[in-house]
Amino acid sequence: MMKLALMAGAIGEIVEAEELRSLGFEAVQAFFGMGPQGDPEDPTPDELDAHLRAGDVALAAMTLHADLVGVGGMVQADVDRTIRCVKKTAALEGRFGDNEKPLLIWHPSAYPEAPDVDDRVVFEGLCDALSSVCEAAEGAGVNVAVEITRAGSIGSAERYLRVKDRVGSEALRVCMDAANFTPDRTPLERAVRMLGPDTVIVHGKDVRFDETGKVSVYGPTGSGTLDYPAYVSYVKDHADAPYFVLEYYRSREDLLRARDIVRQSL
C-alpha cells in the first residue's frame, strides 16, 4: 500500500517534525533551488538529514523546477543544472525509503511561447535535453520523474509517451499528479492507465475550472473537482508507486482533511 508523504516546507509551518509519524506521514519531498543559478539554495545533506531524523521519515523525492527548453531549443544552462541535481540526488542514496532508486522530480516550467515559435524545434530541444539528463541519471543510478503539467513542455500523457519513445531511457519516469493535466489534456482513467508502468510517485492536490474550461485555482485535496476515490483506485490498479505526496494545503486543517480523503481510498 502507498505511504503518505508531504512537502518538506510544511515542517515547522503547518506541522512539527516530531508529529509526522503520529499523523500518518512516512516521508517528505524536498526541493533544490529553482533555475540554472539555484545551486546556493540547494539544501545540504546535513540539512536534509536533520529534517529526516527529527521526523523519523524517509526522503520521498528531491524536486527541481527548470525549463530545459526554450523557443530556440535546448537550454544548456538548465540541462547542466539538472545534471548537477541528478548527481546531488545520487549522493543522497540510502535516504529514499521504499523507492527503487534515488528519485529526482523534474517540474517543467511554462511551454515556450513566441509569435514565431517552432513547435518542432521545441520538441527536438526537449528530447535532446532529456536525453542528456537521462544519460547522466542512468550512470548515477537515479530515476528522473516528469511532473506532467498542462502549461508545461510536457502537458499530457500522450506527450510524455512521445518524448519517452524518443529519449528511450529507463531512467525517465512519471510523477503522477492528475490535477495538473486531467481531464482537459488526458481523461483521468486513461491517463493513469497509460502512465501507470512509468509512475514512481504520486501527488495529491485538487483543481477547479472556470466557465471557459481553463484552470481557475489549484488547492488541497477535497477543494476541487478531481474524483479522489476514482483517482486513487486507478493508481492502485495501474501503478506501483511507494509514496502519495499531499500538497497545496494552506493550513493544518487542509492537510488533515486531505490525508483523511486519501486514506479512505487507500
Contact 52, 92 (CB under 8 A): no
Q: Which CATH architecture has domain 3-201?
A: Alpha-Beta Barrel (3.20)
Question: Where in the chain are the domains?
Answer: 3-201
Q: What is the full per-residue pLDDT of the chain (266 aa) written as tens digits? A: 899 999 999 999 999 999 999 999 999 999 999 989 999 999 999 999 999 999 999 999 999 999 999 999 999 999 999 999 999 999 999 999 999 999 999 999 889 988 889 999 999 999 999 999 999 999 999 999 999 999 999 999 999 999 999 999 999 999 999 999 999 999 999 999 999 999 999 999 999 999 998 999 999 999 999 999 999 999 999 999 999 999 999 999 999 999 999 999 99
Residue 222 φ then ψ, to 5°: 95, -5
Contact 262, 25 (CB under 8 A): no
3-state secondary structure of 93: coil
Q: Please report, for residues 155, 178, 192, the alpha-carbon distance to residue 181 in angstroms, rounded to integers and kept in the order given.
A: 7, 6, 11
